[in-house]
């Protein structure tokens, strides 16, 4: 079993819709969870981080964490063409080492 599982996509959503990106992880000791956005040819940029079970909202973005189900998701409301990118989830189980998923490609269509 891979440490982090993400559907590679592409996930296509119409402009203005809600995009839902999902990630499952195998390490039950994981405590810190991160979502990064990566445009083609560019470096990852931090979107959200979450430590506790439940939802965390920041503007159009909501991160959801369910540690019992080992599941973290990212919701993007009112999706825009500029949101088209690859979204990487990552987690740490201890220390400062991040484990990354391979990313989900999101396409927001006009």
Partner 1 sequence: DGGITQSPKYLFRKEGQNVTLSCEQNLNHDAMYWYRQDPGQGLRLIYYSQIVNDFQKGDIAEGYSVSREKKESFPLTVTSAQKNPTAFYLCASSITTGTGFNQPQHFGDGTRLSIL
| Comparison of 30 and 79: residue with beta carbon closer to partner 1 | 30
Alpha carbons 75 and 3: distance in angstroms, whole number: 22
Bridge partner residues of 42 (DSSP): none
For position 46 contacting partner 1 by CB under 8 A, the verdict is: yes
Dihedral sign for Cα atoms in the order 36, 73, 102, 98: positive
Least CB distance to partner 1 at residue 19 (A): 20
Alpha carbons 20 and 2: distance in angstroms, whole number: 21
For position 58 contacting partner 1 by CB under 8 A, the verdict is: no
Is 53:72 a contact under the CB 8 Å cutoff? no
| Comparison of 4 and 74: residue with beta carbon closer to partner 1 | 4
| Comparison of 33 and 79: residue with beta carbon closer to partner 1 | 33
Using CB under 8 A, list all residues that contact partner 1: 4, 8, 31-32, 34, 42-46, 49, 51, 88, 90, 92, 94, 96-98, 100-103
């Amino acid at each position: 079993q891979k440490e982090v599982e993400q559907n590679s996509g592409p996930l296509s959503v119409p402009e203005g819709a809600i995009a839902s990106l999902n990630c499952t992880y195998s390490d039950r000791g994981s405590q810190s969870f991160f979502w990064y956005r990566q445009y083609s040819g560019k470096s990852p940029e931090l979107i959200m981080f979450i430590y506790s079970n439940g939802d965390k909202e920041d503007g159009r973005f909501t991160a959801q964490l369910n540690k019992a189900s080992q599941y973290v998701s990212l919701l993007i409301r009112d999706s825009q063409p500029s949101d088209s990118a690859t979204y990487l989830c990552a987690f740490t189980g201890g220390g400062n080492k991040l484990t990354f998923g391979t990313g989900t490609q999101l396409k927001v269509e006009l």
